[in-house]
Amino acid sequence: MRAKAALLQASLLMCGLLVGCQKQAVQTSQTQASQTQNSQTQTSQTRNVPSGDGRTLRIFMWSDYIDPQIVKDFEKARGVRVVIDTYESNEAMLAKLQGGGSSYDLATPSNYFIQTMLRAKLLQPLKTELLPNFKNVAAGFVNPGYDPGNMYTVPYQYAATGLAYNAARYVPASQSWSLIFGPADTLKFVLLDDPREVIGAALKYLGYSVNSASVPQLRAARDLLRKVVAKRGFLGFDGGPGTRNRLLAGDIDLGQIYVGDLLQGAAENPKLRVFLPREGTTISTDTLVLLAASPNPALAREFIDTVLEPKVSAAISNYTSYGNPNAAARRYLAPLLRDNPAFNPSQADLKSGRVELIEELPPGKPPRLFDRVWSELKSR
């Protein structure tokens, strides 16, 4: 009973720390977009919202991010078709949506992209009064700093970012970013294809906030990363599932990865391990949003409300191994996920900022510097 109460308390605290407490500033620039992968479905998108047939729902989401059975059940229950295209980064998602040429109903951006998408007029109000299951969202995820009043988002899943290895190939001697950011060049490794994660990890390693807007601190992170990407052992940038597959194949010693993507693979191979480096790391919440160009907003809301059902929400997290922001779903979550410290960072780590929520950067010079640093690293 006491253990249960402690778990609940920890979850509530984590929830509170995961929504951010400040109103989000407006970001004026975007990191350079990478190419969207795995996109198979494209239809024409015009400035006028196309009207759909109400029978096909198109979702643009992070890869490996939903239990396919949930999708099949929804299709069967509603007599509709669900088409899912995937992306590996917020930047790729934004670039595709801004470029037009698609008619998605829903997407799953991270918390720190919401204000950017709003400014780009990509979102429409969700109207939570039309979502009876919104009541299941854990209190700490309601009315978040990145979307006051949950006008445009419901929380979908969350995860911290860690360093992963395949213990059958290599076991690190420490749990530190210095394994890849230090001077040694003996390990093969990849970094996430995600500017906020890569620059954020460097900032953390240097003792700064992942949300630092200090030009000298960002320059220090840039100088460090220049050396890191010049190492012989650096094998490039990759998405979460790509990194997991490279670890499974034994191609790399270490990979920066969203914890959920690694834990998904650990079910297949228990030698896959992940840790949160001692210098600190990032955490972020992905959301479900209704796109302004949605041809089928009614069907899209039905899907969102289904995802908010306790058993459905838990089934998704049990499949993906990502954190779950649905209070009513907790009792259905796999105990293994609830107990993994990399999955559930401790209260102390969240409070101290060792595990820090990525927030949108304030407008102006630092985001532009951020963009330049990322462009340079990618074009090395």
Residue numbers at the binding site for ligand SPD (CB under 6 A): 62-65, 110, 159, 194, 196-197, 240-241, 258, 261, 284, 286, 358
Select 187 or 199, whichever has its Cβ closest to ligand SPD. 199
Select 82 or 187, whichever has its Cβ closest to ligand SPD. 82
Largest CA distance in the chain: 58
- Asked if residue 272 lies in contact with residue 253, where contact means CB atoms within 8 angstroms, the answer is no
100's tokens: 């037009």
* Least spacing, CB of residue 243 vs ligand SPD, in Å: 10
Helix ranges (H only) for the chain are 2-18, 68-78, 90-99, 114-119, 178-181, 195-205, 215-229, 240-248, 259-266, 297-307, 310-320, 335-339, 347-352, 365-378
Select 197 or 356, whichever has its Cβ closest to ligand SPD. 197
Select 291 or 358, whichever has its Cβ closest to ligand SPD. 358
Select 19 or 358, whichever has its Cβ closest to ligand SPD. 358
Residue, CB closest to ligand SPD: 62
81's tokens: 């078709």
Residue 135: how many other CB atoms lie within 10 Å: 11
* Least spacing, CB of residue 129 vs ligand SPD, in Å: 28
* Least spacing, CB of residue 197 vs ligand SPD, in Å: 5
Sign of the C-alpha dihedral computed for residues 40, 46, 48 and 50 taken in this order: negative
* Least spacing, CB of residue 109 vs ligand SPD, in Å: 9
* Least spacing, CB of residue 159 vs ligand SPD, in Å: 6
- Asked if residue 61 lies in contact with residue 108, where contact means CB atoms within 8 angstroms, the answer is yes
**Phi and psi at residue 134, in whole multiples of 5°?**
-60, -25
Select 286 or 359, whichever has its Cβ closest to ligand SPD. 286
- Asked if residue 58 lies in contact with residue 85, where contact means CB atoms within 8 angstroms, the answer is yes
What spatial distance separates the first Cα and last Cα of the chain, rounded to whole Å? 54
* Least spacing, CB of residue 261 vs ligand SPD, in Å: 5
